[in-house]
Structure 1
Amino acid sequence: MRLVLMLLALVALAGLALAAGRSWLGPVEVMQALFSGPEGVGRMLWSLRLPRLITGLVAGMCLGAAGLVFQTLLRNPLASPDVIGLTQCAAFGAVAALMAGLPPMAGAWVGAVSAIILLGWLAAHPREGLAPRAVVLQGLGLALLAGAGTEALILRAGDGNASMAMAWLTGTLNGAGWPEVGHALWLVPLLAPLFTARRILDRLELGDDLARSLGLRVGVLRAALGLLAALIAAGAVSLCGPLGFVALAAGPVSRWLARGRPDPFLAALVGAGFVTLADVLARGLAPAALLPTGLYTALIGAPILLVVLRRQMSDKSS
């Protein structure tokens, strides 16, 4: 029932996103524009708002699912891509690729995979294997290092590339068109395996020893799921920049909706809802200013995260 309600809420937000902007459209106008094609009012919808909506939905789904996967694998609600340094490394790779004239998504993937390998090496214990708490602590340092590297790249870039990179680093869907939709659709096949991994994540959360007793190859599954989550998170960063708090907040919110169980599909829907709502606010509250979507994801995600975490702490204490 909660999944159905979340789907209905996401459809409503998508309709609102198509209507919002400097020129607001009514429900009838939106439907007419969708079916009439890119002519008249439909041109604004098909060339600007629809590709922006699709890009934001895919990016939000990727960040939401990736956040839940990392939080489950490391058994820590703070272990999201933007806390353990993965988002910052992906941003560094994307900016480096942009400065070199290469596809930003390729650079983001290289940065994210490098972060995963480096964290695995830094946080590995010779006897106990991967230490989840060490991943979070090492990731904080890696995030600071990658952020400093990104700033150094921007300072050495020309005015045009520097201004483009600075705008992108705020997390924005401004300028998203059909080419970005094409890049976003590349991430959908990577999302599909995570949607079917609900039971695996549920068992991995029980602990390594118990998961092995249930027949799971813990090391292989953790590496495969972590790599997939890193790739989709980096892909989302390459599309619209680092959108803060989406990956961090989507996991706890989806767990609350799923009564404490890890559900990547539900987390993806929550992430998509966060990004879509933030984009509606960005275009609806100040359409002339074109404020970055990342500003509103932080304003939405941070209070929700605090409330959900507070409720989870109260449930555990009782």
Structure 2
Amino acid sequence: MSENEQQPPERKVLPQRSTRGKRLTDLEGIDKQVDDEFWKMEMFAEEEEDQGFEATEELMEEQADIEDSDIDEFSSDEEEEEERAKQLEKKLAKEERETKKRKNVYKDTASKPKKPKSSTPNPKTPKSKPVIDASTVETKRSARASTKKATEAIEEKLKQTQQKTPKKTPKKVYVMPTQEELLEEAKITAEYNKNSLAKLVQIEEDIRKKARETKTKTVDPDEPRIVYYSTEGKQYITFVNMEIPKEINQKMSEAELARFDIPKEEKQLKCAITGLPAKYIDPLTKKPFANVEAFRALRKNKKL
């Protein structure tokens, strides 16, 4: 190993200055002073002596009775008030700390004369308990009276709703009748059945009697008669086994027939070759024909 590697590195020494570390100590002193002022506030002071608290025994007992009676009714209100008070205290403490930090400007503590430290600790100021005011008692009493009125109103509404609701009808209890009661009921039922059966028999008899009276007689097939019937919206009169009256059996004139919409009979065309009923007409000769042979004959005659 070389000599340079064996020797430790040379440590540089700072020059002597009278103001070295002064600013750091001043800042530490400022922070300590701010902390001491913060922790010496009245809100953090311990309660050693309770002086100035004067209240009569009657007022204390009355306050205790009010608190005991209102513990259920005003529990939610008291919790809300305590929560608001805590939030206000926190807000005030925060504002005080911010204002003190703004006021605390850097000052040279060396120029200030140092205060001699006293061996005796500073006496702590006792915090007096708040005196109960009669107005708060009156407000609590009024609040309790208002709550009583509200509860009474609610109970009255409940009573009214209960009165309006229809009462449930009690279920009828079925009692098994005795043997004698069942026999009496059977007699009544038998009498009722007899009467209803007699009515049904009378109705059937009336229907049969009416059918016998209105029954049609047997018709003689050789007996002269006139038959009326209608079908497909047309009415017909038929004279059976008798001559048609002259008033009816007359030929109508053409003028009278013209009043009626009677379709005319179409004349049946006949084949010019065979004499059979014609189904077709030759467009060249304008003659009717019945079949292919007749058609060929018509064309052959046309050529001749």
TM-score (ref. length: structure 2): 0.16
Higher relative contact order (CA 8 A, sep 6+): 1
More strand per residue: 2
The higher radius of gyration belongs to: 2
More helix per residue: 1
Using the size of structure 1 for normalisation, the TM-score is 0.16
